[in-house]
């Protein structure tokens, strides 16, 4: 295969993005025209949109066969929609992953392709600047600092989904069996030679963010719990500490009784405090176990990550 004929597929999850789709199509079409050295396609995954997104993609696919539609049966969430698209990129030599809202500017994609042609198997776009502010921004920062400390496969704090996977990396990703997927974490886990391309993260071109804060928190939890045993380990340490302290207190009070220093039954407040404290520690412990157990249950059920209603365009 000559390098000039590389097939590049761009995977884009779409949820209620009718306001940005026309601009997205125009920017991608311009990119395709400016980069004739590649055979381009765009796989738009409609993640159960409740607006006219699917209709707009269908119309675009009808007039330009480089655009394809993968329509899911309902809203499965960004990570699942992304997986659905990545599994449907046909014989692409490399796959670009990006958001529909143009926060990830398509104009950077040629730099990914250049880095990939220079030998990188994975290219990550790395933000020189971020446009989020307030609670979202604070949440992202907290997550990245926690995640970096907890796991053995740290992700670069300034990278997200935007990037490129070469054929081998894509196959490795598609071959992963788990249902709870956290793309940046898994991309770090699969290894391969990785290059970073700096870019400026833009404001959303139109519309509102479609990922609720709750959903982002859930992805953050998935990231933490599926890449770290530290919560469990901390519990064990905590248990050891509390048990040790309890034993020492027991010895202390027994000695006082034996020596006759204290014989009356006192210490009601101490007792209540201890019971509440230990009860709390145990409930936290059960909660942490539950986080792992729930994820194990989901994996064991073997339900698919998403259901495809319809696809449009060649695979
Ligand atoms: N998205 C999706 N399913 C959802 C929510 C969002 O496919 O349930 C898509 C959305 O259309 C966009 C991308 O995921 O292309 C990122 O979403 P958004 O811009 O709302 O998230 P943020 O930029 O705040 O992370
Ligand atoms: Mg966005």
What is the number of the ligand closest to the CA of 203?
A: 2
Phi, psi of 11 (to 5 degrees): -100, 125
Residue spans of alpha helices (H) in 259-310: 268-301
The SS3 of residue 129 is strand
Q: Which residue has the tokens 């959303």?
A: 204
pLDDT score of 2: 45
What is the number of the ligand closest to the CA of 140?
A: 1
Residue pair 127/146 in contact (Cβ under 8 Å)? The answer is no
pLDDT score of 314: 67
> Where does the pLDDT of residue 263 fall: very low under 50, low under 70, confident under 90, or very high at 90 and above?
low
Q: 230: CA distance to ligand 2 center in Å? A: 30
Q: 66: CA distance to ligand 2 center in Å? A: 24
- Strands 159-166, 122-129: pairing is antiparallel
Mean local confidence (pLDDT), 128-154 = 77
Q: Which has the higher per-residue pLDDT, 211 or 276?
A: 276
DSSP, res 226: H
Radius of gyration of the chain (CA): 25
Atom of ligand 1 nearest to the CA of 101: 15
pLDDT score of 29: 94
Mean local confidence (pLDDT), 53-71 = 93
Q: 262: CA distance to ligand 1 center in Å? A: 65
User: Which fold, 3-228+304-312?
Assistant: Spore Coat Polysaccharide Biosynthesis Protein SpsA; Chain A (3.90.550)
The per-residue pLDDT for range 10-30, each reduced to its tens digit, is 999 999 999 999 999 999 999
The per-residue pLDDT for range 187-213, each reduced to its tens digit, is 988 989 999 998 888 777 777 777 777
Mean local confidence (pLDDT), 111-135 = 86
What are the pocket residues of ligand 1 if the criterion is a CB atom closer than 6 Å to any ligand atom? 13-15, 17, 47, 75, 77-78, 81, 99-101, 103, 209-211
Q: What is the mean pLDDT of the chain?
A: 86
- In sequence order, the β-bridge partners of residue 67 are 42
Integer Cα distance of 68 and 170 in angstroms: 19
pLDDT score of 4: 55
Neighbours of 77 (CB within 10 A): 20
The CA-atom distances, in angstroms, between 7 and each of 70, 74, 84 are 19, 30, 19
Residue pair 57/44 in contact (Cβ under 8 Å)? The answer is yes
Q: 63: CA distance to ligand 1 center in Å? A: 25
Q: Sign (positive/negative) of CA torsion 139, 165, 179, 299?
A: negative
Q: 193: CA distance to ligand 1 center in Å? A: 28
Can you give the residue ranges of every domain in the chain? 3-228+304-312, 230-301
Of 56, 27, 29, residue with least CA distance to 41: 29
Atom of ligand 1 nearest to the CA of 77: 8
Structure tokens at 265: 């039954």
Atom of ligand 1 nearest to the CA of 81: 7
> Where does the pLDDT of residue 311 fall: very low under 50, low under 70, confident under 90, or very high at 90 and above?
confident
Residue of minimum CA distance from atom 19 in ligand 1: 209
Residue of minimum CA distance from atom 14 in ligand 1: 78
């Amino acid at each position: 295969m000559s390098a000039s004929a590389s097939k590049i597929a761009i995977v884009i999850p779409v949820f209620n993005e009718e306001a940005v789709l026309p601009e997205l199509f125009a920017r991608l079409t311009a990119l395709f025209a400016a980069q004739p050295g590649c055979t381009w396609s765009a796989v738009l995954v409609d993640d159960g949109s409740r607006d006219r997104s699917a209709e707009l993609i269908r119309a675009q696919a009808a007039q330009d066969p480089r655009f394809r539609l993968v329509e899911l049966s309902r809203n499965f969430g960004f990570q699942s929609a992304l997986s659905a698209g990545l599994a449907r990129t046909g014989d692409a030599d490399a796959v670009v992953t990006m958001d529909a809202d143009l926060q990830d500017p398509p104009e950077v994609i040629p730099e990914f392709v250049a880095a990939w042609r220079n030998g990188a198997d994975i290219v990550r776009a790395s933000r020189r600047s971020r446009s989020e502010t307030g609670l979202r921004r604070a949440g992202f920062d907290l997550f990245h600092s926690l995640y970096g400390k907890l796991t053995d496969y740290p992700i670069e704090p300034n990278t997200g989904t935007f990037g490129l996977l070469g054929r081998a990396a894509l196959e490795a990703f598609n071959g992963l069996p788990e249902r709870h997927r956290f793309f940046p974490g898994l991309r770090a886990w699969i290894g391969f030679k990785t290059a970073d391309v700096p870019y400026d993260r833009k404001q959303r071109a139109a519309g509102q963010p479609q990922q609720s804060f709750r959903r982002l928190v859930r992805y953050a939890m998935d990231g933490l719990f599926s890449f770290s045993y530290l919560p469990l380990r901390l519990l064990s340490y905590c248990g050891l500490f509390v048990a040790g302290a309890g034993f020492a207190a027991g010895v202390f009070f027994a000695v006082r009784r034996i020596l006759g220093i204290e014989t009356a039954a006192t210490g009601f407040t101490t007792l209540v405090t201890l019971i509440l404290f230990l009860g709390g520690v145990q409930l936290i412990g059960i909660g942490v176990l539950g986080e792992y157990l729930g994820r194990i249950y989901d994996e064991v059920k073997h339900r698919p990550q998403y259901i495809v209603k319809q696809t449009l365009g060649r695979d």
